[in-house]
Amino acid sequence: MATSSQAARASPGRGRSKKAVWDQLAELTDPEIPILTLEDLGILRWVRVGADRITVGIAPTYSGCPALEVIELNVVEKLKNCGYAKVKVERVLAPPWTTDWISDAGRKKLLDYGIAPPAGGSRRTLLGEDLPVACPRCASSDTAKVSEFGSTPCKASYKCNACLEPFEYFKCI
């Protein structure tokens, strides 16, 4: 006779809720910005618990994101380590991800880490209405872009003219 844990491993979805799966995945961090979880970043879109498979929807931050494959592998590995034998990850392209989906907690984590969170909203950026980027160290808006790309394609390099410190800005997309 199979134990309940053996039955759960053999048939994922029985005795496990979407919330339980979501909670496991919400702990995973972004490989490029490890202070942010997938939930903070807003790329974890949905979870489907089927009779024999868990399917997870992930929204890429942009086309060609080098971290996406690592994120997908981490999702599969995490759920398999939790006892789910069959896991599938689907890329969710519509609606497209925007920095508007970064949670308030995620924005605070960025700021506390020294990365300026996206200023304004994605609609403003699309309309060419970029707001000044405040320095995450001294909060001055007297800053200048040094390079369109920082340590990752989703960040730009800035410097603060007030405190003279360099910093990265998570670009508004």
Q: Identify whether 95 is preceded by a cis peptide bond (ω within 30 of 0).
A: yes
Torsions phi, psi of 169, nearest 5?
A: -120, 125
The pLDDT tens digits along the chain (173 residues) read: 333 333 333 344 444 789 999 999 999 999 999 999 999 999 999 999 998 899 999 999 887 888 999 999 999 999 999 999 999 999 999 999 999 999 999 999 999 999 999 987 655 555 556 678 999 999 999 999 999 888 888 899 999 999 999 999 998 88
DSSP assignment of the chain: ---HHHHHHHSTTTT--HHHHHHHHHT-B-SSSTTSBHHHHT-EEEEEE-SS-EEEEE--SSTT-TTHHHHHHHHHHHHHHTT-S-EEEEE--SSPP-GGGS-HHHHHHHHHHTEEPPPS-HHHHHTT-PPPPPPTTT--S-EEEEES--SSTTEEEEEETTT--EEEEE---
Superfamily of domain 4-91: Fe-S cluster assembly (FSCA) (3.30.300.130)
Query: What is the structure's pLDDT at 90?
Result: 97
132 neighbors 148 (Cβ within 8 angstroms): no
Query: What is the structure's pLDDT at 127?
Result: 55
Residue extents of the structural domains in the chain: 4-91, 102-170
Instruction: Report residue 137 as tokens.
Output: 């160290």
Separation CA 43–CA 45 (nearest Å): 6
Question: How many alpha carbons lie under 13 Å from residue 135 in its C-beta half-sphere?
Answer: 16
Entry pTM: 0.81
12 neighbors 1 (Cβ within 8 angstroms): no
* Amino acid sitting at position 162: A
Residue pointed to by tokens 């700021």: 111
